[in-house]
């Protein structure tokens, strides 16, 4: 529609210009000075009008173009939004199954751990049993050796007892040596045997077959021994 109005106005302007040109041609044929001044003034007015018209048309075109540009709807800016992957919603039943599976897996791991501990305990127990069996075997050997030593000790004690008994019997069967006082002083005595040998003893000394000297009596010429025997001078020496 704007283009059609513009063409109509341009057509009217051309008609006005044609009429002005024909008017100017008619005036040129009339050499009147007043007419010439009037014609010049009209020309200025016509030129001014034409200029205003063309300027109006140019402004009209510019304004129309701007209006046309503004009337076109702007393309909407497409906002590209990167959507984050939505976290999958796990149903409650699936979550419960997962929890049960995790619990079962945990129990299985604990069971494996207990089984390994039991196996280690069984191995340790087997080692302890083997050690105890070894110790029992050693104890049996020690008991056997102890029994053997006890038997040997009893046999040795029996032999020793027999030897002591034989020695005692020999001592009992052997006659005691006969001693006589040869000389005596306080705390000292000289004894003689039948074979003429001499023996010097003091208070507290031991005399074979008689015991320990418990008393020396120079006035009586005797000595007393722990066995109760009393030894004095030889009757032949008196």
Q: Helix 33-71 and helix 2-28: axis angle, to 10°?
A: 170
Task: For residues 51 and 89, give the distance between their C-alpha atoms in angstroms, rounded to a whole number.
Answer: 77
Nearest CA-CA partner of 221 in 206, 208, 205, 238: 238
Handedness of CA 13, 19, 23, 26 (dihedral sign): positive
Mean pLDDT along residues 126-150: 93
- pLDDT tens digit sequence for 141-194: 999 999 999 999 999 999 999 898 888 877 666 677 889 999 999 999 999 988
Q: What are the boundaries of each domain within the chain? A: 94-173, 179-231
Q: Decide which of 143 and 16 is more confident.
A: 143
Q: What is the pLDDT of residue 149?
A: 94
Calculate the average pLDDT of the chain.
79
């Amino acid at each position: 529609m704007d283009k059609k109005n513009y063409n109509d106005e341009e057509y009217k302007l051309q008609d006005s210009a044609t009429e002005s040109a024909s008017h100017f041609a008619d005036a040129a044929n009339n050499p009147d000075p007043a007419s010439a001044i009037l014609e010049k003034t009209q020309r200025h007015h016509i030129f001014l009008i034409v200029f205003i018209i063309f300027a109006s048309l140019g402004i009209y075109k510019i304004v129309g173009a701007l209006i046309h540009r503004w009337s076109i709807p702007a393309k909407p800016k497409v906002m590209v939004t990167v959507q984050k992957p939505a976290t999958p919603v796990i149903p409650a039943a699936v979550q419960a199954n997962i929890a049960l599976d995790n619990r079962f897996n945990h129990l299985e791991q604990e069971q494996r751990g207990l089984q390994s501990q039991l196996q280690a305990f069984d191995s340790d127990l087997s080692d302890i049993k083997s050690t105890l069996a070894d110790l029992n075997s050693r104890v049996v050997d020690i008991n056997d050796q102890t029994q053997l030593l006890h038997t040997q000790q009893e046999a040795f004690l029996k032999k020793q007892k027999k030897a002591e008994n034989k020695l005692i019997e020999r001592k009992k069967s052997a006659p005691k040596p006969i001693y006589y006082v040869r000389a005596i002083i306080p705390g000292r005595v000289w004894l003689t045997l039948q074979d003429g040998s001499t023996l010097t003893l003091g208070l507290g000394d031991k005399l074979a077959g008689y015991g320990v000297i418990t008393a020396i009596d120079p006035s009586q010429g005797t000595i007393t021994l722990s066995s109760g025997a009393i030894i004095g001078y030889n009757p032949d020496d008196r």
